[in-house]
């Protein structure tokens, strides 16, 4: 994957490529202990991955609802929280 700066635009193809890279990396690490700290962060690997998934879902919910001030009242938690497992996060 090449990284550019400047006038390039992030495309749907870029999103698919990035999704594949993350899913492949997380799949290959699925048997490791995700309860350890994520590098220098205070969060665990599983909490960090759960947050990353939420960061992908959130803009879609905002775009679909056209809300500008808060999360839409969809009645769904966007994170897996305590239910998060490496396999569920890869699927997400």
pLDDT at 7 exceeding the cut of 70: no
Highest mean pLDDT among 43-47, 81-85, 86-90: 43-47
Q: Do residues 55 and 78 touch, judged by C-beta distance below 8 A?
A: no
Determine the pLDDT at residue 71.
Answer: 72
- Residue 88, C-beta contacts closer than 8 angstroms, at least 6 positions apart: 80
Mean pLDDT for 66-91 is: 78
Residue 34's CB is within 10 A of a number of other CB atoms, namely: 20
Instruction: Write out pLDDT tens, residues 8-53.
Output: 788 888 888 988 999 999 999 989 999 999 999 999 999 999 999 8
pLDDT at 1 exceeding the cut of 60: no
């Amino acid at each position: 994957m090449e990284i550019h700066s400047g006038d390039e635009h992030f495309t749907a193809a870029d999103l698919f490529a990035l999704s594949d890279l993350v899913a492949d990396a997380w799949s290959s690490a699925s048997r490791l202990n995700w309860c350890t700290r994520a590098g220098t962060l205070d969060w665990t690997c599983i909490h960090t991955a759960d947050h990353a998934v939420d960061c992908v879902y959130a803009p879609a919910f905002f775009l679909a609802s056209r809300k500008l001030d808060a999360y839409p009242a969809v009645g769904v938690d966007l994170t897996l929280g305590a239910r998060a497992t490496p396999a569920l996060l890869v699927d997400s």
